Amino acid sequence: KETQADEFLRQHMDPDTSKVTASYCNTMMKLRNVMGEPCKPVNTFIHEPLRDVQAICLKGDVPCKNTKSDCHQSSSKMRITDCRLKKGSIYPQCDYETQQKRKYIIVTCEGNPYVPVHFVGSV
């Protein structure tokens, strides 16, 4: 069974990609099997080394806006791609806009080792 940590890797990690094209999100959302029914509205991929993303859990505690337990914010901006569902897009034709950004990211972490399990957002 896929752990929450493995799910985070599948849905949010793409360290080896630096430049993305306009079709990146449509390709990746399918390839990583992120498209459920209904289409997932927003999903972010992170283009930084895994160790740097895992390190976020060890510092940078910030309050969570939702109910999730323990939020951590990166101390530096990270290269990310936000995939946003286009208006009017209906499952199974989930059509995504690809937006490359450099922002601080916020994750929740769990377990031992204490690793990222949810992507909360970017600021």
Which of 106, 94, 80 is CA-nearest to residue 41? 94
Among 47, 72, 79, 118, indicate the residue that binds ligand UMF (CB under 6 A): 118
Which CB sits closer to ligand UMF, 58 or 121? Answer: 121
Among 44, 54, 74, 98, indicate the residue that binds ligand UMF (CB under 6 A): 44
From the list 15-23, 24-32, 84-92, 113-121, the region that binds ligand UMF by CB under 6 A is: 113-121
Cβ-contact 14, 119 below 8 angstroms: no
From the list 14-22, 24-32, 92-100, 114-122, the region that binds ligand UMF by CB under 6 A is: 114-122
Rounded to 5 degrees, what are φ and ψ at 11? -85, -25
By CB atoms closer than 10 A (0-12, 13-18, 19+), residue 53 is buried
Which residue is nearest to ligand UMF, using beta carbons?
A: 118
Q: Is 61 helix (H, G, I), strand (E, B) or coil?
A: strand
Contact set for ligand UMF, span 52-81 (CB under 6 A):
none
Which of 96, 4, 114, 99 is CA-nearest to residue 54? 114
Active site residues: 12, 118
Binding residues (CB under 6 A) for ligand UMF: these are: 11, 42-44, 82, 118-119, 121-122
